[in-house]
Structure 1
Amino acid sequence: MMLTSFTRYRPAVWFGCLALAVVAVEILVIRRPDFATRPVLPAAVTFDLLTVLPLLFYWQVIRPYKLPLSSLLGATGAAITLAYFLIPEPQQQYLSYTRYAGPALELAAISLAVVKLRKLRLAYATTAHTEPGMMERLEAAFEQVFGHSFSLLVSEIGMLYYALLSWRAKPEVQTTDKVFTSHRESAVEALLATAGFLSLIEMGAVHLLLTRWSPVAAGLVLMGHVYGLLFLVGHLRAVRLRPSVITEEQELVLRVGFVWQLRVPLAALVHVQQLKEAPVRNADVLNTAQLLFTAPNLLLSFAQPVKVSGPYDLQRQVRHVAVYLDHPAAFQQSLPVA
């Protein structure tokens, strides 16, 4: 799994390393004693920053990840900003023409954003009849409009949506689905609410203490606490709004908040075992009940390894999934296997 994850992120890692190398070389050139007296040096540094870095971004990020070509606008804007930051002001004569590029790039970016957002909204709306899950609809819309699912961005949007905007939302299920909840009989809501309350107290106390030592550190720790609190609240809401289901098309969809999701044909499930305690840790077993702060009551076994998707593009390939359901007997009765 680690090798697969590294392979997925290898182009981005290469871009980061190469970009840092280019910037390091340009800094060495800028610090040369004759940088101000040899006009060719500021011209060369300007050319490298404004062309090499965007080209690297295109070659190592846009092409491998199939991002829209419009992403190059952002990379070019970032390169211009970096050039103004690195090159001393007296040697910025070669950057003078970019004063017109900034407004042009901004206008182009705004225009593209408006067009893309409109297409994204339409694509999101068209999936409402086939996919009730907010995050799944958003990933499908991104895939349709941009050619990429943007899982990391969808995870962040999902967390904020469930934490802040989902209080009037209905459970994400179809009327024909067989629904199996996991929050009514477990103590997950009480435990998460308690953890959130204690986090608020800790956040205030730590912030007051750190402010006396370093306001910057206090601000950073406060942002970390707020992010963690939003994650807790978002997970709590998602557990309620995203139950596990068996669809009319005989598809098994297991969901644990917005963290884990498994979607497989029901025929892939070959055995269901009742549990009274968590299974032994194994690379081939995933215990999803840990995120509900309770012991699993069912172990689902599959004929072949299945992909369980997590937040921030996290994935696991396992053959056994331990779950907690409020009514495990009803779930077993809904299956063609014993």
Structure 2
Amino acid sequence: MLVRTSLPLKNVALITGLALLLLFGGPYLLHHLAAPRYNAVANGLLADVLVTFPAAYYFLIIRPLKLRKRNILFVVSCCLCVAYLIMPPTQQAYILQLRKLSVAAELGFIIYAISKVRSISKQYRHLQHHLPDVANQLQHSMTKALGNTMPVRLLASELTVMRFSLLYWLKTAAAPYNAISFSTHKQSGYASLFGVILFVAIIELAGFHLLLLNYSVTSAIVVTALSIYGLMFLIADFAAIIKSPVLVHHNNLLLRVGIRWHLFTTCDNIASATKITDSFTPPKGCFKGAVTKGSINMHIVFKQPVNINRLYGSTLQVRELVISIDQADEFLAALSLTPIVH
């Protein structure tokens, strides 16, 4: 069984649709408006970005998830940055004045965060004595020191992406002595697939950027920046897949795929782990955690539900999952289970 603690799909669709409408529809509308109505519509668009969207985010995201209300300040700050990029010069002057009001609060948070660096580092080193996992350790140490809030979790997620994309050559913490590691990507041929995806994405990024320049320079810059971040995420995920294998250490088990998801449990908590064939169909409610959809070769059922932590998504509580393990028989032997084929 899989129990979701995430938002209703309707809420996600509504807030995403509103964001895309404001980001692309607003500049497009302003570009085609006649001069007499230009300032009035621009002021209305500014109000929608700074008031309507934060209000919608509060009722669609913060309130259903029962997040702290102060998270709306972070949303407003992001809206100010986006508004400055898409609004004409007259409205940009208003934004700069409003931006000054949030600078003091942001500087205070930055100073507070800097003062906690030693505490974060200490907590991070302490976690490394267990099964090492950069994404989990970084987020856990930051939330423990700075508070378990959405801005802190997002910051931890961003730092994780930058760690594996821009600093992918750095070594990760060594696994504990006698820990057995299992890769999750070799049999699926994901390295070749990643190369193709990266090449095509770079070509499309360049072409789409040139296309958008004909309509809006600002939109082209924003979309290109978001696309570059998407490429960074792909690189980070690939680097993490290679450097972050599944680990079995005594009775401890760390299952993970790149920076996408991870879970900690014990080998004793596994009710069954079976090898599966291409004809196997995951049951309803089963978490699909393989590198690619067609590479699954292991079906694991847990005695007690386990929490799956995802980089940007909410935590999922699951009873079973499917994953790809390159050394399936060796993995089952490490769990002290007899190989069974579905």
TM-score between the two structures when normalised by the length of structure 1: 0.67
Aligned length: 269
Tell me which of 196, 204, 229 is aligned to 1:202. Answer: 204
Which one is further off, 315-324 or 186-195? Answer: 315-324
The 8 Å contact of residues 119 and 145 in structure 2, kept in 1 or not, is answered as yes
Question: Is residue 2:301 matched to residue 1:305?
Answer: no
Helix, strand or coil for the counterpart of 1:183?
A: coil
Question: Is residue 2:248 matched to residue 1:246?
Answer: yes
Question: Is residue 2:139 matched to residue 1:139?
Answer: yes
CA distance in 2 between partners of 1:103 and 1:208 (Å): 34
Question: Is residue 2:73 matched to residue 1:112?
Answer: no
- How do residues 1-338 of structure 1 correspond to structure 2 at under 5 angstroms? 4-6=5-7, 108-109=108-109, 111-148=111-148, 150-170=152-172, 173-248=175-250, 250-277=251-278, 279-289=280-290, 291-292=291-292, 294-338=294-338
The code of the aligned residue for 1:146 comes to: L
Helix, strand or coil for the counterpart of 1:261?
A: strand
Helix, strand or coil for the counterpart of 1:5?
A: coil
Two-structure CA RMSD over aligned residues (Å): 3.8
Answer with 1 or 2: which has the greater Rg.
1
CA distance in 1 between partners of 2:194 and 2:240 (Å): 12
CA 328–159 in structure 1, closer or farther in 2 if over 3 Å, else same: same
CA distance in 2 between partners of 1:184 and 1:201 (Å): 26
Shift of 1:141: 1.2
Shift of 1:101: 8.9
Post-superposition CA distance 1:136-163 (Å, at most 9, x none): 2212212331242743332222112111
TM-score between the two structures when normalised by the length of structure 2: 0.66
CA distance in 1 between partners of 2:4 and 2:289 (Å): 23
Helix, strand or coil for the counterpart of 1:221?
A: helix
CA distance in 1 between partners of 2:246 and 2:115 (Å): 35
The 8 Å contact of residues 253 and 266 in structure 2, kept in 1 or not, is answered as yes
Shift of 1:255: 0.6
CA 142–171 in structure 1, closer or farther in 2 if over 3 Å, else same: closer
Corresponding position of 1:30: none
Shift of 1:131: 4.5
Contiguous gaps of at least 5 residues in structure 2: 12-54, 81-99
The 8 Å contact of residues 143 and 153 in structure 2, kept in 1 or not, is answered as no
Corresponding position of 1:95: none
Corresponding position of 1:92: none
The 8 Å contact of residues 303 and 319 in structure 1, kept in 2 or not, is answered as yes
Helix, strand or coil for the counterpart of 2:233?
A: helix
The 8 Å contact of residues 245 and 254 in structure 1, kept in 2 or not, is answered as yes
